[in-house]
Amino acid sequence: MDWQFIAKYTPEFIHAGILTLKIGGIGIILSIIVGILGSWILYENFKFFKQIIIVYIELSRNTPLLVQLFFLYFGLPKIGLRFSPEACGIIGLTFLGGSYMIEAFRSALEAIDKIQKESALSLGMTKWQTMRYVILPQSFVISLPGLTANIIFLLKETSVFSAIALMDMMFVTRDLIGLYYKTEESLFMLVVGYLIILLPLSLLGVWLERKLKYVGYSN
């Protein structure tokens, strides 16, 4: 293991890791918003929009992110729509992640016993108050394991961004291997980089889930 090589090119991995977190973070936040809206539509059974959401989920979950990125980056310019690699990464991650977030939030909402909703309404609470004070706090805790798993999954999916010329950690790894044939060192830095990003998120999700259960925000 060439530690001098690792020390020399660690700053490049740090820069690539920051780019990964930036694009991944924006994409994840937007996918959570899509997930909340989509799960609410399914939960409230708005028939017209429900069919759109179902088609979107099937299309998103049954096509690889790499294919979606190729469509955005190479396909859309054929009809005059051009996006930067960063924008394509964010749009692609949001499109893929939104469907997974919808399923996570939908299952959590449906796990709440309907008698709780009916009881809250019978006590004079509005639909919004029932959703805010009764349904959402419990469903958030229930969805937390799935939410954490989806966030980690989406951050790992950013490894395909190098296919559209985004200089993420995978791009830097391939570049260093191609230029210097330092396969072990480059892959070592790649693995360490992803561990630094993903392991704290995993531990935070476990801690938060236990904390919320302890204070009574779960069934």
Comparing CA positions, the residue from 156, 41, 142, 49 lying closest to residue 96 is 156
Q: How far apart are CA 97 and CA 61, in angstroms?
A: 9
Residue 112: predicted pLDDT: 81
Residue 124 is classified by DSSP as T
Residue 127's identity, in one-letter code, is: K
In this predicted structure, the answer to whether residue 90 has a pLDDT above a threshold of 70 is yes
Q: Among the listed ranges 23-32, 40-49, 96-105, which one has the minimum average pLDDT value? A: 40-49
Nearest to 97 by CA among 185, 24, 48: 24
CA distances for 44 relative to 24, 39, 122, 191, 205, angstroms = 30, 8, 18, 43, 28
Alpha carbon distance 138, 116 (integer Å): 11
DSSP letter assigned to residue 132: I
Sequence-separated (6 or more) residues with CB below 8 Å from residue 49:
41
Region 103-107: mean pLDDT is 88
Q: Is the dihedral of CA 60, 62, 66, 67 positive or negative?
A: negative
pLDDT in tens, 113-169: 878 777 887 888 887 788 777 788 788 878 888 888 899 999 988 888 888 878 888
Q: Are 101 and 147 in contact (CB under 8 A)?
A: yes
Note the pLDDT of residue 92: 92
Measured distance CA(150)–CA(47) in Å, rounded: 27
What are the structure tokens assigned to 197, written together? 């990003």
* pTM of the entire predicted model: 0.85
